[in-house]
Amino acid sequence: MSTLDMPTTAMDRTLRGLVSSEIQLNIGAVLHFDGQPPQLGDIRDYIGTRLAALPALAAWMPQGARRWTVVDEVDLSSHVAEYVVPVQENLEQVVVELAKTPLPEDAPHWRMWLLRGYAPDRYALLYLVHHSVQDGAGMLRTLESLFAPGVPESESSAAYHGFAQNPRASARTRMQCAATDLRSLRSLGTWDLPESRPTHEVGFAWSRVPTGTLTSIARASGCTRNDVYVAALAHALASWQSEIRGTADLPDMPLLVSANVRRPDEVALAGNRTAISYLRLPGTPLPFDQRLAGTVSATVPLKSPTVRAALRRNFDSTPAWLMRTTFSALSTPRRAPTSVSNVVLRHPLALHGDPVTAIDPITTTLGGLPLSVLLLVNGDTATACFRASAGLPGLDRIHRTWEQTLLSWESDAATLSRS
C-alpha cells in the first residue's frame, strides 16, 4: 500500500468519522440493463480493465488520516459479488437491504453487486461507495468511466462547468456565503413535533417522474429544473407540516442544498467537493406561482459561478473541527434541515452493448437529519431517492406528495403557457 499525495478534505474526514451502527453512510446507484445477464467473472474482468481510470476505487481512509491510502491491487473478488433475485417484485427490497451493508473498513470503501435471476433478459448492477470517498458527482464519474469510457474529463457530468469562466471570488462574497451558512444554525423547530419519536430507523423510497415534466414547468416559469425540484419538495413538506400541525403557526423550512464545486481536472479523484448552501423557505402552503417564485429567488446565488468559486474557497479553508461542530449542531430536531441534492447524468451508459434503461440513485442521511433527498436526472426520467425518518408520522409518504405535486404543476404550467 502507499499514501496518495493528496490530502483528504475536511468534509471527507468528517464523514469518515460519523460512525454509526444504525445508519451506513453509503451512496450509489442501481443501473438497470436490458440484455442477458453476464457472468460474475466477466464483470470482475471488465472492471479490472477500467481501474486505471478510477483512482477513487483504489483509495481508502483510515480513521483520523489526513491523506488517502492506496492499495497496490484492488481485490475484485471481494469487492464485486452477485446476488440472485428470484422475482422482479423482490428487487427493490434486495437493493434496500444491500444498501445497508457495511463497506470495508481497511480496504477501498466500495462494493458492487450483479443482481440477476428475476428476468432472462434483464439484470442490474448496484454500486455502493462510502460518502467519505465520493459525493454524488464523483459517483457519476465512476459510472461514466465504467459504462461510457469515451467521455473526457472536460465533458464529464461530475464537473461544475461554470469554473471554465475562471470566476474570482472576492472576500466580500466569501463572507456573505459564510454568513448564510451561519444562519443555518438558527433554531426553527420544523421537526420539533410532539408526535415524533426518537428512532434510528430511516426508510427508503423512490419516486420517478418524466424529465419532461420538470422541463415543461421550468420553461413555463422561467426557471431551472433544479428550482422546480426544490420548490415541489418544499411544497410537499409544507403540506405535510400543515396536516401535522393543523392551524398552528408553521415554521419556515431549512434546506441544505448541495452545490457541486468540482473542477474538470478533479472528476476522478477520491473525496468530496460539494459545498453546502443554506436555504430557508416558507413553511406555509403556497399557490404554485408563489412557491416557485420564492424558490427561484432563494436559489439565485447558486446559479452564479462567482458564488460557486466563493463556496469552493470556503470549502477548502474550513477546518474539520468546525465542520464536525456544524454537523453536530444541525443534528438536533430544532435545527435539523432537509438535505437536498441533484445530479444530472449527461451521457448514455451501456455494458458490452447492453443499454442502461434506468438508474435509481441511493442516498444516505447524515447525522440524524430527518429527511434526505437525492434526485438523479438520466435521459427521459428523473428519479429521486428519499430517506425519511420513521419517527415522524406521515413523512414516509412525502415522496408520493412530491410526485403528485409535480404532475399537478405540469397542468398549471400548461395553462400558464397558453395564457
Claim to verify: residue 259 and residue 310 sit in the same structural domain: yes
Q: Which of 118, 151, 184 is the last residue of a domain?
A: 151
CB atoms within 10 A of CB 136: 25
Say if residue 182 is in the same domain as residue 315: yes
User: Is residue 354 domain-resident?
Assistant: no
Task: Give the largest CA-CA distance in the chain.
Answer: 65
Q: Give 246's pLDDT tier (boundaries 50, 70, 90).
A: confident
- 5 located within any domain: no
- CATH number assigned to the domain comprising residue 17: 3.30.559.10
| pLDDT of 1 over the 50 cut | no
Q: Judge whether 232 lies within some domain.
A: yes
Shared domain for 217 and 334, answered yes or no, is yes
pLDDT at 199 over 60: yes
Same domain, 207 and 338: yes
Mean pLDDT on 250-261: 91
pLDDT tens-place string over residues 320-336: 888 888 888 777 777 88
User: Do 314 and 387 reside in the same domain of the chain?
Assistant: yes
* CA–CA separation, 365 and 367 (whole Å): 7
Range of the domain at 135: 10-151
What is the predicted pLDDT for the residue at 64? Answer: 81
pLDDT at 198: 62
Q: Give the three cell numbers for residue 213.
A: 415534466
- pLDDT of amino acid 325: 87
* Residue 181, pLDDT above cutoff 80: no
Q: How far is CA 355 from CA 44, 81, 168, in A?
A: 19, 21, 41
* Helix 225-245 × helix 288-299 angle, to 10°: 120
In this structure, are 178 and 265 located in the same domain? yes
Q: Please determine, for residue 241, whether its predicted confidence score (pLDDT) is greater than 60.
A: yes
- Region label for 204, one of left (φ > 0), alpha (ψ between -120 and 50) or beta (otherwise): beta
Q: Tell me the pLDDT tens digit for each residue of 86-104.
A: 887 789 999 999 999 889 9
379 pLDDT tier (thresholds 50, 70, 90): very high
Where residue 186 falls among pLDDT bands split at 50, 70, 90?
A: confident
Are 344 and 389 part of one and the same domain? yes
- Phi, psi (deg, nearest 5) at residue 267: -60, -30
Average pLDDT over residues 306-316: 93
pLDDT of residue 405 exceeding 90: yes
pLDDT at 306 over 80: yes
Give the residue from 119, 151, 183 where a domain finishes. Answer: 151
Closest CA to 57 of 9, 18, 49: 49
Structurally, how many domains does the chain consist of?
A: 2
- Poorest-confidence range of 162-171, 193-202, 231-240? 193-202
Contact 331, 368 (CB under 8 A): yes
Banded model confidence at residue 418, pLDDT cuts 50, 70, 90 = low
φ, ψ (nearest 5 deg) of residue 280: -125, 115
Residue 182 belongs to a domain? yes
Same domain, 201 and 303: yes
* pLDDT value at residue 262: 95
pLDDT at 141: 95
Is 232's pLDDT higher than 60? yes
Predicted TM-score of the model (pTM)? 0.94
Q: Are residues 140 and 50 in the same domain?
A: yes
Higher-confidence residue: 418 or 239? 239
CA 138-227-324 angle, 5° bins = 50
pLDDT tens digits for range 164-173: 888 999 999 9
Q: What is the 3-state secondary structure (H, E, C) of the chain?
A: CEEEEEECCHHHHHHHHCCCCCCCCEEEEEEEEECCCCCHHHHHHHHHHHHHHCHHHHEECCCCCCEEEECCCCCHHHHEEEEECCCHHHHHHHHHHHHCCCCCCCCCCEEEEEEECCCCCEEEEEEEEECCCECHHHHHHHHHHHHCCCCCHHHCCCCCHHHHHCCCCCHHHHHHHHHHHHHCCCCCCCCCCCCCCCCCCECCEEEEEEHHHHHHHHHHHCCCHHHHHHHHHHHHHHHHHHHHHCCCCCCCEEEEEEEECCCHHHCCCCECCEEEEEEEECCCCCCHHHHHHHHHHHHHHHHCHHHHHHHHHHHHHCCHHHHHHHHHHHCCCCCCCEEEEEEEECCCCEECCEEEEEEEEECCCCCCCCEEEEEEEECCEEEEEEEEECCCCCHHHHHHHHHHHHHHHHHHHHHHHHC
On whether both 69 and 178 belong to a single domain, the answer is no
Last residue of a domain, one of 96, 122, 151: 151
- Residue 379 counted as domain residue: yes
Same domain (yes/no): 266, 398: yes
